Amino acid sequence: MKNQRLTNPTLPLIRLNLVEPLLRLIDQRGIDAEGLLERFSLKRAEISDPEVFVPAPKMYEIVEKLADLSGDPYFGIHAGESLDPWAWSPLSDIAHISATLGEFLVRFMDSAQQDASSVIFSLNTQNGRSTFREGRVTDGGIFPRHNDGFTIAYLLAIVRRAVGPDWDGAKVLARCCEPDVIPSHYLGIRTAGTDSLGASISFPASWLLRPVAIEQSATMPVSQPLESSPSGGFTEDFRKLIRPYLQESDLDMDRLAVICRLSKRTLSRRLQTLGTTAQREILALRRKKAEIELQDTTLAISTIAARAGYSNPAVFSRAFKRWTGVSPRQFRKNISKLALQTESIK
């Protein structure tokens, strides 16, 4: 079936230029995608043409093949978080006229029908929880793993920008056809499997009342390349960017480059020039996070370990002892003793 304009709304079609963020990520990684594009009879000019649509199964297959080409098990997630949802063409206009997250999502459901006749969006609220779902009319026999990952990533980006500093990933549940396409402990969220006909996120219904707050975009981890940050301090900006991702155990240079929207070489060189390394900064932030949670919460040590990016509590305990000279358990006891002594003096 040839690429076409959207003339028959009953066909499950998707606007072709929605694949641009994924192809851009391939290009940024220096991977040649021309052979793949030729396989699908696609030309670069077509991809940038907002009037060209393709059958939904073809789009799903393109995304999955791009993921295979990248060799990245989290390709959909990384592509979805590499864009600023407030600047992405399907969302930018409605972001500027929506007062709250709830209004934005309702407008999004209406606007999205112009980009795809193959999906049905829904927003349901029950028992204090809201669920936003992108459902498919058909999967066309394609298991859309990374399509789901992309959907989850951009939906989370939308919600996080509205919630701002009050974001708590533990209150969010993401459902997709293959949860393994989402990194372990990603943004602290919970994940679950579902069928191949859609992906969804659920969160506290009260978040729907949060203002869209477009201005927050510049402070969020995927808003703009790190080198163009206005705050002036590269190391501090790097820390701000990666802090929400500390729960991920696989924060290697490939992952960090995607988060910062820089090449690995540029990121490494900039940090080295400033007398530090990515690994050193990550360990320092993980230590600080662990110390704060041991002091200020009653969370189990295994939970704190996971939130600091350690899937194995024993490995976390050894690392913590290297940092502080005491085990996490002893550190918490010492803090408690100090608090009691301070209270008795008062």
Each residue's pLDDT tens digit, 78-103: 998 877 777 676 677 787 788 899 99
Q: How many CB atoms lie within 10 A of CB 133?
A: 20
- Who contacts 44 (Cβ-Cβ below 8 Å, separation ≥6)? 37
Query: Mean pLDDT throughout 12-41?
Result: 87
Name residue 10's amino acid: T
pLDDT at 297: 87
Please tell me the distance from the alpha carbon of residue 72 to that of residue 69, in angstroms, as a whole number: 8
Would you kindly state where each structural domain of the chain is located, as residue ranges?
13-209, 224-339
Query: Mean pLDDT throughout 175-185?
Result: 92
What the block records as the tokens of 61 is 């297959």
- What pLDDT, in 10s, does the model give residues 151-165? 999 999 889 888 877
Residues pairing with 126 in the sheet: 129
Q: Is 0.75 topped by the overall pTM?
A: no
* Least confident interval from 137-141, 165-169, 225-229, 324-328: 225-229
Query: What is the homologous superfamily of the domain 13-209 according to CATH?
Result: H-NOX domain (3.90.1520.10)
What the block records as the tokens of 242 is 């990666």
Domain 224-339: top CATH class: mainly alpha
Are 257 and 263 in contact by the 8 Å Cβ rule? The answer is: yes
Instruction: Identify the band that residue 274 occupies on the pLDDT scale cut at 50, 70 and 90.
Output: confident
Q: How many CB atoms lie within 10 A of CB 263?
A: 14
- Compute CA distances 307 → 8, 229, 259, 299, whole Å: 48, 27, 18, 10
Are 239 and 281 in contact by the 8 Å Cβ rule? The answer is: yes
